[in-house]
Amino acid sequence: MTRFYRREWENVVQRQAREQGVKYNIIHANGEPPAPAPANEIREIVTLWCRRLSHDLVQDGFAPVSWDESDDKSYFTDRPGFDGYAALLIWAAHLEHPDLPLPQELPRTWTDDAAYRRSFVPTFASRCPHLLRAALWLPSDISIVFEAPTPDSDERSVIGSVFKLNEELESLSIEMKQQSTPKDIAPPAKKTGLLRRLLGKPQSEMKSGLALIENARWGLETFRSLTLQACEHRLPMLCFSRLECTNRPAGEPAVRYW
């Protein structure tokens, strides 16, 4: 997290652009951000944040939250793309609600999907709460998902465990392999290299339930690879595009999952 908040990292497209000699410009929505705080200050804030989380988690019978914040720790980035990530969430939610038809096209956001909205309700016993509800995952064996502020914001985000997320993705991977592709329908052509990482699959390919499953397969493959690395190296994992926008369906109250 120190490296993340210091912005001392490259996303996968930045790295590929650098390796291929392509210029890569980052355009910030609100203009150029101010310079980040020194690493030692950020590390102290993250450490204090972990202690505060641990205080409540230990009372509920869970282990304290901690990991190595050293500057030389490895980090990993990749992009399932909006289509891949949204399709994965929608497909997983529809597994829990087979009475609802899989959408023919990708909604504007995953929170517009009826099955996802059902799965997000705290009283619903979702089989994939760490995937469907969380935006930040910690390298701790925490069975629940819960709401808490992040190190840089008082706004509460849903937090889960990289280990439980991995278990959910492993289960979904087994189910995904059972999804058959009709022989008379060709799946969308996959992009390769920089273009695939940057754009994922275009909206024009999201024309059927089959296309949605193909996008979900790509999202699952990418997301599971990152989760396995987070588990192996005991690293926190976050979807910062999801942290920046609300992951709570409109009209739903803020709920603390303690």
119-172 pLDDT per residue, tens: 988 889 999 999 999 999 999 989 999 999 999 888 899 999 999 999 999 999
| Alpha carbon distance 159, 246 (integer Å) | 13
Side-chain-facing half-sphere of 149: CA atoms under 13 Å: 11
- Residue 125 is predicted with a pLDDT of 93
- Residue 235 is predicted with a pLDDT of 95
Instruction: Give which of 111, 73, 75, 66 is closest to 93, Cα–Cα.
Output: 111
The predicted model scores a pTM of 0.80
- Residue 210 is predicted with a pLDDT of 65
Across the chain, mean pLDDT equals 82
Tokens for 85, please give them: 């990530």
The structure tokens 């500057």 sit at 71
Strand partners, 159: 136, 146
Average pLDDT of the residues in 211-228: 92
| Alpha carbon distance 57, 71 (integer Å) | 27
Higher pLDDT, 104 or 68: 68
Instruction: Compute the C-alpha angle 44/45/51, nearest 5°.
Output: 90
Going by pLDDT thresholds of 50, 70 and 90, the confidence category of residue 23 is: confident
- Most confident of the ranges 86-100, 105-119, 196-210: 86-100
| Amino acid type, 176 | M
Helix axes 209-233, 81-96, angle to 10 degrees: 100
Average pLDDT of the residues in 2-22: 87
Side-chain-facing half-sphere of 141: CA atoms under 13 Å: 2
Instruction: Provide long-range contacts, Cβ within 8 A and 24+ apart, for 42-45.
Output: 42/1, 42/2, 42/5, 42/6, 42/151, 43/2, 43/69, 45/151, 45/152
| Alpha carbon distance 92, 94 (integer Å) | 5
Average pLDDT of the residues in 21-32: 81
Tokens for 25, please give them: 């410009």
54-68, 179-193, 203-217: the lowest-pLDDT one: 179-193
Helix axes 209-233, 162-177, angle to 10 degrees: 140
In tens, the pLDDT along 31-61 reads 788 888 999 999 999 999 999 999 999 988 8
- Alpha-helix residue ranges (DSSP H) falling in the chain: 2-6, 12-19, 39-59, 81-96, 114-120, 129-132, 162-177, 193-199, 209-233, 240-244
Tokens for 248, please give them: 């709570």
- Residue 186 is predicted with a pLDDT of 36
- Residue 12 is predicted with a pLDDT of 81
Using left for φ > 0, alpha for ψ between -120 and 50, and beta otherwise, residue 97 falls in beta
Average pLDDT of the residues in 53-81: 89
